[in-house]
Chain A
């Protein structure tokens, strides 16, 4: 899939090249210039696995609270862009809704119901785009349930999520993007405000309920900001994990035979899919002090793009990193990040994708195969995944 990256590489790489396929450039950087300054991104990219682990585990040197953060601008100040005690307070408030036991006992049956309802709606068609008709709406429906939102249409949540993501990346200052973002923000606020009185009086297992009833409860404006980051970040990751994992399984017959013989192997498929194509390919940090990283001295205040998508292809950690191989020796990928910001939705993602979405899809859609007439496309480097998954099955 990847070819030797041709000079001129390095700093001349364009954002479009990264969007199309970041992996050749990442490989070149890891070998030749592991912390390059990329003018087009306005950041130093951190590309080696060991440097990224160092960044993740030294939050006192690498702040998440980036100056001028667009995430903060469009969502309000939230846990993704906080450090230290302020971060811990927000995170601890949400955590009870996302720990493994509540995921298993409370959310997994909901995930199964949501997956079955969606498949019931299209199984008789015999064909469809599983990205558009399954991965996206399933992720939206599961996310709404976990948050505690009610009566929110799958499409609304997907539209809000994309608008918030686009706003968080709107370095071009496009007024249309700000307008969509503002509309999304108002939509999310209204959906949250609609459930707060009920959840205040009737606690349940949801994130908003947990935030309201925490030892240190969050105020409504804090709930709005944090739920927005969950919506901006919690929809496309499970969606893209389902999309990439299903695509990889459909294009690797030996993997398909293995998971059909032993469904517990879906967990390996999931972990390998998010290693191979990390749904969050890059996330920002900012240095708090002068620091040496990957052989380069970075000044205080330097903006970094931490490239999980590159770390997960680091050949010093993963043999034949560009290959999708569920039998590779266990090694820690960084698709969920690390340190204080380790993905809070990790266990919900593992359950909804590896335990429910993938096995249910392949069990129920008999004879599932890709539609050869309509090729699968991929895109993105900050967020990356399949853009479509046209498939046919025996109706």
Chain B
């Protein structure tokens, strides 16, 4: 099963087993990872599941859709080239070992 590491702004980490087919957001919620708020439950409407993807090969995560792109302009913490909405990252086997950084704030 893919393993995902969430790194908080203070440097603490959570290592989570994420079955293929779930999302990086849902895996965080299911494991009580702090800092992933996900107000809208995964509809790409709230911008509160923002993460920074710090793996060099972020292209393997899939394209940023139009809906995700406009919502990334609404994040509370600054958008960077590493910004993604974790609700739009559907876990696949190749996500094993993925590390995401959780922003300091989501609202």
Given contacts A99-B70, A100-B71, A346-B46, contact A332 B76 (CB under 8 A): no
B58-83 contact mask (Cβ, 8 Å, vs A): 1 or 0 = 00000000010011011010000000
- Are B74 and A338 in contact, CB atoms less than 8 angstroms apart? no
Q: Can you name the residue of chain A whose Cβ is closest to the Cβ of B67? A: A99
Interface size on B, residues (CB 8 A): 18
Given contacts A100-B73, A271-B107, A346-B45, contact A339 B37 (CB under 8 A): no
What is the distance, in angstroms, from B78's C-beta to the closest C-beta of chain A?
A: 14
Q: How far is the CA of A99 from the CA of B43 in the complex (A)?
A: 11
Determine which of B43, B45, B107 lies in contact with A332 in the assembled complex, contact meaning CB atoms within 8 Å: B107
User: Within A338-360, which residues are at the interface with B (CB < 8 Å)?
Assistant: 338-340, 342, 344, 346-347
Question: What residues of A have a CB within 8 angstroms of the CB of B71 in the complex?
Answer: 100
The tally of CB-CB contacts under 8 A between chains A and B is 45
Question: What residues of A have a CB within 8 angstroms of the CB of B76 in the complex?
Answer: 330
Majority-rule SS of B interface residues: loop
What is the distance, in angstroms, from A265's C-beta to the closest C-beta of chain B?
A: 14
Q: How far is the CA of A41 from the CA of B47 in the complex (A)?
A: 35
Given contacts A339-B40, A342-B45, A347-B74, contact A330 B29 (CB under 8 A): no
A327-343 contact mask (Cβ, 8 Å, vs B): 1 or 0 = 00011110010111010
A170 CB within 8 Å of chain B: no
Question: What residues of B have a CB within 8 angstroms of the CB of A101 in the complex?
Answer: 70, 73
Q: Can you name the residue of chain A whose Cβ is closest to the Cβ of B48? A: A332
B5 CB within 8 Å of chain A: no
What is the distance, in angstroms, from B104's C-beta to the closest C-beta of chain A?
A: 9
What is the distance, in angstroms, from B105's C-beta to the closest C-beta of chain A?
A: 4
Q: Can you name the residue of chain B whose Cβ is closest to the Cβ of A59? A: B41
B13 CB within 8 Å of chain A: no
- Are B29 and A332 in contact, CB atoms less than 8 angstroms apart? no
A108 CB within 8 Å of chain B: no
Question: What residues of B have a CB within 8 angstroms of the CB of A56 in the complex?
Answer: 41
- Are A342 and B67 in contact, CB atoms less than 8 angstroms apart? no
A127 CB within 8 Å of chain B: no
Q: Can you name the residue of chain A whose Cβ is closest to the Cβ of B66? A: A101
A57 CB within 8 Å of chain B: yes
- Are A57 and B67 in contact, CB atoms less than 8 angstroms apart? no
Q: How far is the CA of A331 from the CA of B106 in the complex (A)?
A: 8
B39 CB within 8 Å of chain A: yes
Q: Can you name the residue of chain A whose Cβ is closest to the Cβ of B40? A: A342
Question: What residues of B have a CB within 8 angstroms of the CB of A347 in the complex?
Answer: 74
- Are B107 and A338 in contact, CB atoms less than 8 angstroms apart? no
Determine which of B29, B46, B105 lies in contact with A342 in the assembled complex, contact meaning CB atoms within 8 Å: B46
Given contacts A271-B107, A330-B76, A346-B46, contact A338 B40 (CB under 8 A): yes
Q: How far is the CA of A95 from the CA of B66 in the complex (A)?
A: 14
Q: Can you name the residue of chain A whose Cβ is closest to the Cβ of B76? A: A330
Q: How far is the CA of A331 from the CA of B76 in the complex (A)?
A: 11
B2-30 contact mask (Cβ, 8 Å, vs A): 1 or 0 = 00000000000000000000000000010
Q: How far is the CA of A57 from the CA of B48 in the complex (A)?
A: 14
Determine which of B29, B43, B73, B106 lies in contact with A57 in the assembled complex, contact meaning CB atoms within 8 Å: B29
Cross-chain pairs A/B with CB under 8 angstroms, 20 sampled: A56-B41, A57-B41, A99-B70, A100-B73, A100-B74, A271-B107, A330-B105, A330-B106, A332-B39, A332-B48, A336-B39, A338-B40, A338-B41, A339-B40, A339-B41, A342-B40, A342-B43, A344-B45, A346-B46, A347-B74
Known: A330-B107, A332-B48, A342-B43; 20 extra A-B contacts, CB below 8 A, are A56-B41, A95-B45, A99-B45, A99-B70, A100-B73, A100-B74, A101-B73, A330-B76, A330-B105, A332-B106, A332-B107, A336-B39, A336-B46, A338-B41, A340-B41, A340-B43, A342-B41, A342-B45, A346-B46, A347-B74
**Closest 5 A-B residue pairs measured CB to CB?**
A342-B40, A339-B41, A101-B70, A330-B105, A332-B37
